Amino acid sequence: RFTPRVFSGIQPSGGLTLGNYLGALKRFAEMQGDGFETIYCLVDLHAITVWQEPEKLRHQTREAAAAFMASGVDPSRSILFNQSQVSAHSELAWVFNCVARMGWMGRMTQWKDKTAGKNAENASLGLFAYPSLMAADILVYHATHVPVGEDQKQHLELTRDIAAKFNHDYGTDFFPITEPVIEGTATRVMSLRDGSKKMSKSDPSDMSRINLTDDADTIAQKIRKARTDPEVLPDTPDGLAERPEARNLVNIFAALSGSSVEEVLADYAGQGFGAFKPALAELAVEKLAPISGEMTRLMSDPAEIDRILGDGADKAEAIAQPILDKTLEITGM
Ligand code: ADP
Ligand code: NA
């Protein structure tokens, strides 16, 4: 009944990282032409749930658009746009704010993590309601599939809960129950400084992440300084079970080279990080240099990026507006 349609977004709240590339952008590009319509969004309304410097946000939004395109998202095959340019997202989010329950939001681990040890009274209301806007992002397109990293699985569950409760409360089957598309290894790239935290653009330490704009020397230096242990690499993946930092570097190698963890270990078992890190750095530079080069080229013409995003917004709106209109009609407005 629903058109196979993929929706996903990334916050332009900082420069994008290797984690965003392996966990999101690379897969977004691969999903084009897989029998899905693909809709990708720079979620600036989500970004401002935490205060953003206005000029930086504008720059980062364009840069994130460049990162999508440099990673292979083709605006002639996918819809690529900026969330704030399609007002149906915010309007549907309000309806969903009235469907979702306070208790559901309060149980989100990302909300708990982001307010842990701080005064939650001081967090923005937007940060609390974030998953409701995310549900609107997805459901305003009747998206059937959402590629998500592990970190966003719980929010997608909430999207399904909101769709089901809306359908139940209004006696309809208007909204699809969206399926997650979760991939195996290295969908979760961890911090280079702490194997228990995900690599993130919002981590205060720049050494914890590889940015898509980092040059070759910076990439090599960050990998050289990545936290590891003094052991050699094992023969099999279970030998990495209690070694999160080592496992992360092997996972990154596997994801970048398109091979399995077993294959990587078959090549490097018995070797220490003195040998493995330079090989990883070389591979990372080889894979990321074309992306950062293309980003630089695209960023030299910001007007062209704005034109592409404006065009994407028009296409997005053509799908979203009728779905919003119908939602309002169902709710009696
Ligand atoms: P960030 O944590 O860098 O702010 P976002 O929350 O904007 O990233 O996430 C954007 C997309 O990138 C999501 O699909 C998310 O699952 C993916 N992603 C973010 N960080 C990682 C990571 N370290 N490993 C794998 N995927 C990630
Ligand atoms: Na985030």
Domain with 161 in it: what CATH number? 3.40.50.620
Sheet holding 78-82, edge to edge: 78-82, 37-42, 5-10, 145-147, 179-181
**Residue-number span of the structural domain to which 320 is assigned:** 5-181+301-330
Structural domain contains residue 124? yes
Residues 311, 313, 319, 321: what is their CA dihedral angle, to the nearest 10 degrees?
A: -130
Kindly state whether residues 151 and 18 are assigned to the same domain.
yes
Give the CA distances from residue 198 to residues 189, 240, 269, in Å, rounded to whole numbers and listed in that order: 6, 17, 25
Provide the 3-class DSSP secondary structure of residue 146: strand
Kindly state whether residues 135 and 218 are assigned to the same domain.
no
Kindly state whether residues 241 and 153 are assigned to the same domain.
no
- The string over 279-298, giving b where at least 16 C-beta atoms fall within 10 Å of a residue's C-beta and e elsewhere, is bbbeebbebbeebbebbeeb
Where residue 232 sits, what CATH number does that domain have?
1.10.240.10
- The string over 222-244, giving b where at least 16 C-beta atoms fall within 10 Å of a residue's C-beta and e elsewhere, is bbeebbbeeebbbeebebbeebb
Record the tokens describing residue 217, joined without a space. Answer: 């020397």
> Is-catalytic flag, 326?
no
Q: Is the Cα torsion angle 247, 249, 250, 251 positive or negative in sign?
A: positive
Kindly state whether residues 140 and 248 are assigned to the same domain.
no
Q: If you take atom 15 of ligand 1, which residue's CA is the nearest one? A: 149
Report the DSSP beta bridge partners of residue 145. 6, 179
**Distance between first and last Cα of the chain:** 25
Structural domain contains residue 189? no
Structural domain contains residue 26? yes
Kindly state whether residues 17 and 131 are assigned to the same domain.
yes
Q: Check 114, 153, 165, 315 and give the catalytic one.
A: 114
Give me the pLDDT at residue 141, please: 98
For the chain, the domain total comes to: 2
pLDDT tens for the chain, residues 1 to 333: 899 999 999 999 989 999 999 989 999 999 998 899 999 999 999 999 999 999 999 999 999 999 999 999 999 999 999 999 999 999 999 999 999 999 999 999 888 888 887 778 889 999 999 999 999 999 999 999 999 877 788 999 999 999 999 999 999 999 999 999 977 555 689 999 999 999 999 899 999 999 999 999 999 999 999 999 999 999 999 999 999 999 999 999 999 999 999 999 999 999 999 999 999 999 999 999 999 999 999 999 999 999 999 999 999 999 999 999 999 999 999
> Is-catalytic flag, 201?
yes
140 close to 320: Cβ distance less than 8 angstroms: yes
Report CA(201)–ligand 2 centroid distance (Å). 8
Kindly state whether residues 63 and 122 are assigned to the same domain.
yes
> Is-catalytic flag, 198?
yes
Q: Give the span between the Cα atoms of 262 and 108, in whole angstroms.
A: 34
Give me the pLDDT at residue 324, please: 98
Kindly state whether residues 229 and 307 are assigned to the same domain.
no
